[in-house]
Amino acid sequence: MFKKLFLLWLVVGSLAAQAQTKKPVPAKKPATPAKTANPAATSFKNLNDSLSYAMGLSAGQFLKAQGVENLNYALLNKAIEQTLGEKSTSFDMQAANGVMERFARTSVTKKAAAEKEKGRQFLLQNKKKAGITETASGLQYEVLTAGQGAKPTSSDTVVVHYAGKLLNGKEFDSSFKRGQPLTIPVAGVISGWTEALQLMPAGSKWRLYIPSEQGYGDMGAGRDIPGGATLVFDVELLEIKK
């Protein structure tokens, strides 16, 4: 993914951003004109100057979003000049893609490690709270509603309502809001859920605190769940289907 985006940013980066349809937002007060940079800071003599700066700005924004904090700008400029001038380059594209993939893996690992440490610190404090139970695996839960039904096994299918959040409170999914419970096999979900569901009597509603190792690991899931994230789920076990 990283290498594909890197190769495409020059062509589609700014155009795609402009082409996106924005949802109208009701204005509460007249908009304040955006502050612009001092026009004297950079001199643009012609369209080529403006294009050069715009391309650099677009590239910088993209690279920053990918976690690039610093580059050897002399080598960056050299590679661009060699490519545009159709001169011999030190890497072919296969080698260049390999370098970018190595960076992407390193970046993912670094970000995931930071997320896991945040989760570790949270869980250390959370387990001290009244009503919190921690299992041998590190899963934590609290009983919001105590059910009186049977407990599912790993071979069962269950019907549940749930809402998932990150530690910062951002909700990434909710069947409660959709008004449609989820029917799933107990063994077909993340391991934190599989463990918790087998401890829950039907009719229960629990809050689960799931370490990343029992969630989505270092890779995360989609755009909303970062790698290494500790997750908080409210899960209501509605029915066990044998």
- Domain locations in the chain as residue ranges: 1-14+44-90, 123-241
- Predicted confidence at residue 167, as pLDDT, reads 97
| Closest to 152 (Cα-Cα) out of 63, 56, 240 | 240
Active site residue 172: yes
- Predicted confidence at residue 35, as pLDDT, reads 53
- Residue in 6, 141, 209, 233 annotated catalytic: 233
**Residue 203 — φ and ψ, nearest 5°?**
95, -5
Q: Are 83 and 55 in contact (CB under 8 A)?
A: no
For 25, the 3-state DSSP assignment is coil
Active site residue 2: no
Share the mean pLDDT of the chain. Answer: 86
Rounded to the nearest 10 degrees, the angle between the axes of helix 47-65 and helix 2-19 is 120
Q: Are 194 and 187 in contact (CB under 8 A)?
A: yes
- Residue in 6, 141, 209, 216 annotated catalytic: 216
Active site residue 216: yes
- Residue in 80, 184, 190, 234 annotated catalytic: 190
| Closest to 232 (Cα-Cα) out of 146, 169, 181, 158 | 169
Query: Can you read off the two tokens belonging to residue 145?
Result: 């509603």
Using one digit for the tens of pLDDT, what is the confidence trace for 168-203? 999 999 999 999 999 999 999 999 999 999 999 999
E strand or H helix at 22: none
Low-confidence ranges of the chain (pLDDT < 70): 1-41
What distance in Å separates the CA atoms of residue 237 and residue 242, rounded to the nearest whole number? 14
- Predicted confidence at residue 140, as pLDDT, reads 98
Active site residue 224: no
- Residue in 62, 103, 122, 172 annotated catalytic: 172
Q: Which CATH architecture has domain 123-241?
A: Roll (3.10)
- Predicted confidence at residue 66, as pLDDT, reads 77
- Residue in 162, 209, 210, 240 annotated catalytic: 162
